[in-house]
Amino acid sequence: MVEVKHITKSFEGRTVLNDISAVFEAGKTNLIIGRSGSGKTVLIKNIIGLMRPDSGKILYDGRDLTAMNKQELKLLRCEMGMLFQGSALFDSMTVLENVMFPLDMFSNDTYKERLKRAQFCLDRVNLSEAGHLYPSEISGGMMKRAAIARAISLNPKYLFCDEPNSGLDPKTSLIIDDLIHDITAEYKMTTIINTHDMNSVMNIGENIIFIKEGVKEWQGNSQEVITSNNKALNDFIFASDLFRKVKEVEENEIKEQNKSIK
Amino acid sequence: MNKALHQVGEYVQLMGKCIAIPDRWSMFFKQLIKEIYKLGVDSLWIVIIISVFIGTVIAIQISLNISSPLIPKFTIGYTTREIILLEFSSSIMCLILAGKVGSNIASEIGTMRVTEQIDAMEIMGVNSANFLILPKMVGMMTFIPVLVIFSMFTGILGGIAASYSAGTNMTPASFEYGLQFYFTEFYIWYSIIKSVVYAFIISSIAAYFGYNVRGGALEVGKASTNAVVMSSVMILLADVIMTNLMLT
């Protein structure tokens, strides 16, 4: 479980995160949503320790990241996996070498064991045939899957995903969402996903935090999103015609159900 | 002035982060071999080609400019040797390598920065500066002296080739005598020591500009240019300082 308590972050006098508190539960896909520039990326960067908050605490199963020294932070990072928006695979390494990289750096296993683990991770994301290829030789969806394989190679307790579906077609996005969801449940990881993809919100949003202008505006799950009366959330989620129609259909169904009960 | 001081501070901090014991020696040596091959061995042909031609041109130009009967013919070989050993093979060759290798390092690390590959390493708990920059620095400092020795050898061979060509007023025998005349071994060591310092300058400055890129492809290009300009200036400055310290 990851918990943020009263996080505040400012840049040159401009407050980007204002007193944000939230709990991200283990075994669930936790989503941070919000418009571009709302502070999502700054929040996730604070949570993973790439930035230091001005005030507040970030607790990893009770361990405060903001109070850790370099060595403690290094140990904690071995428990983290991260999927970046652009995949961030190392260009000079093959897919298999990318997945083996964290193992080579931190595992004390033999080469055979490391190779076996890397191949298992590639197999888990259905990429066992692409191990010998370089990132430039595979598609965007395959890159995301390879990055997921690398992120889970050390069997992390915490998985962070920054815009995992950006640049992907809807079908591939669904595959990536399902993969992240399944892996989260399978390994009981605390997964935090930074997204503004509404399909992801509806599909895998087990715990959703909506941020508006650096303030936590709303928290709930994908079912509660539909019925929420929060205006800012509704303006954000139902900005497209498609989702407005989905909401209307859902609300009509609820009304009819209520009538039939009466 | 403030910006310059800020950059110096950032550079020192980066070096502090970079010059540390590697997390895994096996990974360090793997990277080191890759870097020696990529930055050093791949530069061998350009070094040989430039040195042969410049050695030839130096010998021809000196022979054309020394036409006085009072100056002995072996002066051509002697002067060619001194130019190649003292300045060309170390300083000028490293200025050329600053362009080739410096831009390569800055653009490689800069691209890794803007595509979040460096952030990915940091998240994993890897000291990215140490993992990426240290092997480049050690590789360059190990292999550039080898390139300098190749440059000296092939530059002098170019001069010898010129002495055999028609149209110059030198003979191979006088040129070879000049090459051996009043030879000072220390000049070779002086060149090698200079090249090690230049290798550090090229790799560390290029890595600094690449590592601190913010933005996109345009900034990577700017960083690459800045790296070459700054390392060239620093090489010239270091040349003056080391020449004063070691030869006067």
**Domain locations in chain B as residue ranges:** 26-247
Of A168, A178, A177, A9, which is closest to residue A86 (Cα–Cα)?
Answer: A168
* Position B212 confidence tier, pLDDT thresholds 50, 70, 90: very high
Helix (H, G, I), strand (E, B) or coil at B125: coil
Give how far Cα A213 sits from Cα of A7, A11, A33, A231, B181, Å: 14, 14, 12, 14, 78
pLDDT at position A191 over 70? yes
- What tens digit of pLDDT does each residue of B6-26 get? 999 999 999 999 999 998 899
pLDDT at A240: 66
Name the region of A163 (left: φ>0; alpha: ψ -120 to 50; beta: rest): left
- Element (H or E) spanning A11, and its range? strand A2-11
pLDDT at A93: 93
* Position A177 confidence tier, pLDDT thresholds 50, 70, 90: confident
Question: What integer is the mean pLDDT of B187-195?
Answer: 95
- What tens digit of pLDDT does each residue of A9-26 get? 998 888 899 999 999 988
- What tens digit of pLDDT does each residue of B117-147 get? 999 998 888 999 999 999 999 999 999 999 9
Percent over 90 (pLDDT), chain B: 81
Percent over 70 (pLDDT), chain B: 99
* Chain B positions in Cβ-Cβ contact with residue A73 (cut-off 8 Å): 125
* Position A140 confidence tier, pLDDT thresholds 50, 70, 90: confident
DSSP string, A53-111: -SEEEEEETTEEGGG--HHHHHHHHTTEEEE-TT----TTS-HHHHHHHHHHHH--S-H
Q: What is the distance between the alpha carbons of residues B32 and B11, in angstroms, rounded to a whole number?
A: 22
pLDDT at B166: 61
Of A189, A180, A199, A193, which is closest to residue A242 (Cα–Cα)?
Answer: A199
Is any Cβ of chain A less than 8 angstroms from the Cβ of B119?
yes
Chain A residue whose CA is closest to B31? A92
Chain B residue whose CA is closest to A89? B117
pLDDT at position A102 over 80? yes
pLDDT at A100: 94
Is any Cβ of chain A less than 8 angstroms from the Cβ of B111?
yes
Q: What is the distance between the alpha carbons of residues B92 and B201, in angstroms, rounded to a whole number?
A: 14
DSSP helix, strand, coil percent of chain A (3-state; round to 5) = 45, 25, 30
* Chain A positions in Cβ-Cβ contact with residue B33 (cut-off 8 Å): none
Is any Cβ of chain A less than 8 angstroms from the Cβ of B20?
no
Question: Phi/psi at B115 (nearest 5 deg)?
Answer: -95, 15
How far away is chain A from the Cα of B37, in angstroms, using its nearest Cα? 14
Which residue of A86, A91, A105 is in closest CB contact with B124?
A: A105
- What tens digit of pLDDT does each residue of B78-119 get? 999 999 999 999 999 999 999 999 999 999 999 999 999 999
**Cβ burial, residue B247 (10 Å; 0-12/13-18/19+):** exposed
DSSP state of A192: E
pLDDT at A150: 92
- What tens digit of pLDDT does each residue of A204-260 get? 888 899 898 888 888 888 888 777 788 888 888 776 666 667 767 777 777 777 777
Chain A residue whose CA is closest to B131? A105
How far away is chain B from the Cα of A72, in angstroms, using its nearest Cα? 10
